[in-house]
Structure 1
Amino acid sequence: MVTIIDTLRGAGDLPRLRHPEKAHRPDQDNTLPKPDWIRVKAPVSKGYFETREIVQSNKLITVCEEAGCPNIGGCWEKKHATFMIMGGICTRACAFCNVATGKPNALDANEPASVGRAVAAMGLNHVVITSVDRDDLDDGGAEHFAATIRAIRAAAPGTTIEILTPDFLRKPGALETVVAAKPDVFNHNLETVPSNYLTVRPGARYFHSIRLLQRVKEIDPEIFTKSGIMVGLGEERNEVLQLMDDLRSADVDFLTIGQYLQPTKKHHAVIRYVPPAEFESFATVATSKGFLVVASSPLTRSSHHAGEDFERLKAARLARAVAA
């Protein structure tokens, strides 16, 4: 069988950095002033505080807090949250991410049930579950993902489930375990173009991530697949367009594109704030390439408006099937 690795251009897993002058220098202050279109208001609503109470009372971690997401106020006001399982310590040190890096604690066997209870208490129609990278575990945490999906199905059978997973690099059978639990949407983010991987995502492999997404569809064609990237990290436009083609070659349904925001001065610098018109242009091109749904704006994040986007995915798949 011909795979995506056979059909994509012949490049290694770790591409050469083509823009060394754009690499982040920790000893330099490269902070750019934020433009008006990237600013958001601090959360103060009643719904926000109610969501925070449910999260804290169940002793859960959300990526909304850990990653400092700018959309937390709007999402939590609507009782939308992305739960981060398997602890708050990651085994990798990506240059864009604000999650702590180190030696993680042992898995909490009660966590899947706690997530299920929180989903039921919030009355969610759609939930997003993500995690830190757990390279220390034999299966990368795949069974814990599966157990969490099963617990949500038991506690809130009407809730649709989206997962945002690590790459399970060098973990045989991990992907199959997660797909067998039948999430409704399988998301795995590429994060950036391949020429940036050495400086932005050094622990990952671009073509492994592409192949991971392709394998999901080979195992279960009914599962929607999704991936996302950040822009403003020094990528060129033609690299973003090639990445779109790579994802479509893997039959990925949904693409998100958002502006990278530097969490602290120790993280990779923002090379450029991309104006809204360019995000609109990316959306137009991506739609023409065949993605069912595209979300592209400065404040777009992987799980922002996930519930509404899931409905759009179902409608787009149905419309395409009717047209065929």
Structure 2
Amino acid sequence: MVTVLDLKDRPRARHPEKAHRPDQEVLRKPDWIRVKAPVSRGYQETREIVKSHKLVTVCEEAGCPNIGECWEKKHATFMIMGEICTRACAFCNVATGIPTALDPNEPESVAKAVAQMGLTHVVITSVDRDDLADGGAQHFADVIHAIRRLTPTTTIEILTPDFLRKEGALEIVVAARPDVFNHNLETVPSNYLTVRPGARYFHSIRLLQRVKELDPSIFTKSGIMVGLGEERNEVLQLMDDLRSANVDFMTIGQYLQPSKKHHPVKKFVTPDEFQSYATVGKSKGFLLVASSPLTRSSHHAGDDFAKLRAAREALLTKKA
């Protein structure tokens, strides 16, 4: 029997914006999403590197269940632009409030950590920064450029906010030419009002489509959580919407409720149902679909990037 990962002892950011929400029942997790507690030497070494460079990771802030596995392999997803988000999504464990000023040294610090960890593929994400004129687009570009200067062979995947009402922001990020541009839809459109109220579903679809229009060579990626009360046919329609935007890669994972103040888990989706989503997704034309209870946006990102490139090359060879 494995030990269930428990991050309760780690200092957590408070959620004053969620305090008014009534407590929700937290369902007991089924055996198929229980994971080992992080105790390995590799995990501790990664933790020290992150701390020494004063960096923030989404692995910690979001309480990711895969942190032990990923950090043991020295894989970490860096969260730039601080640890305070300007939005208050009902599923998210990142704190909401007034963010601090951008750290001009952060791009270089991230690049140094990437070099020290010997990463061949790195994932960079951020909080939402609606307070900034460009939503943080230039900071994303600066991080990409800093990594390329220090470790030019490292491939770079970014997981961005939606840059809602930030004209020209997307163009700044795409011009920096990340290898993978990820923006998560998070859930089906019928859930947006309660789960992702600050976002707009079709704006997010259009954002992903625009990336391909600006630079077709960049892989595009998006992910959702299931177990939030969605219907199967809604997930299938969302797949079609992503394919209409020429998205290459889709991830599907189980939503896990961070606290009683967050949106409740409506259902624990079975491994067989996840496999069914993967099969359907492949039939709809995605180059890659990662679908399992513990799938997260950056889980196995390096291996998945290699699969993406191989799938594209196979497709081009077939068309030739």
> Residue 154 in 1 paired to residue 149 in 2?
yes
- 1:201 aligned residue (165, 176, 196): 196
> CA separation in 1, counterparts of 2:106 and 2:26?
38
TM-score by length of 1: 0.92
In structure 2, what residue type is equivalent to 1:45? S
CA RMSD for the aligned pairs? Answer: 0.8
Query: Hey, what does 2:290 align to over in structure 1?
Result: 295
With CA pairs under 8 Å and 6+ residues apart, which has the higher RCO, 1 or 2?
1
- Say how many residue pairs are matched: 300
Query: Hey, what does 1:131 align to over in structure 2?
Result: 126
Q: Secondary structure at the match of 2:304?
A: helix
Equivalence map 1:223-262=2 (5 Å)? 223-262=218-257
Q: Secondary structure at the match of 1:61?
A: coil
Q: Deviations over 1:17-68 (max 9, x none)?
A: xxxxxxxx94354221110001111100000000000000000000000000
In structure 1, what residue type is equivalent to 2:94? V
In structure 2, what residue type is equivalent to 1:49? Q
> Residue 37 in 1 paired to residue 44 in 2?
no
> CA separation in 1, counterparts of 2:195 and 2:299?
22
Cα displacement (A) at 1:216: 0.2
Equivalence map 1:168-317=2 (5 Å)? 168-317=163-312
Any gaps of 5 or more consecutive residues in structure 2? 1-19
Q: Deviations over 1:209-240 (max 9, x none)?
A: 00000000000000000000000000000000
Any gaps of 5 or more consecutive residues in structure 1? 1-24
In structure 2, what residue type is equivalent to 1:105? T
> CA separation in 1, counterparts of 2:304 and 2:23?
39
> Residue 106 in 1 paired to residue 101 in 2?
yes
Q: Secondary structure at the match of 1:44?
A: coil
Q: Secondary structure at the match of 1:172?
A: coil
**In 2 relative to 1, CA 107–28 (structure 1 residues): closer, same or farther, beyond 3 Å?**
closer
> CA separation in 1, counterparts of 2:98 and 2:25?
30
> CA separation in 1, counterparts of 2:248 and 2:308?
8
Q: Do 2:158 and 2:182's aligned partners in 1 also have CA atoms closer than 8 Å?
A: yes
Equivalence map 1:8-23=2 (5 Å)? none
> Residue 69 in 1 paired to residue 60 in 2?
no
Identity of aligned residues (%): 80
In structure 1, what residue type is equivalent to 2:45? E
Q: Do 2:182 and 2:222's aligned partners in 1 also have CA atoms closer than 8 Å?
A: yes
**In 2 relative to 1, CA 242–109 (structure 1 residues): closer, same or farther, beyond 3 Å?**
same
- Moved >3 Å (runs of 4+): none
> CA separation in 2, counterparts of 1:228 and 1:161?
18
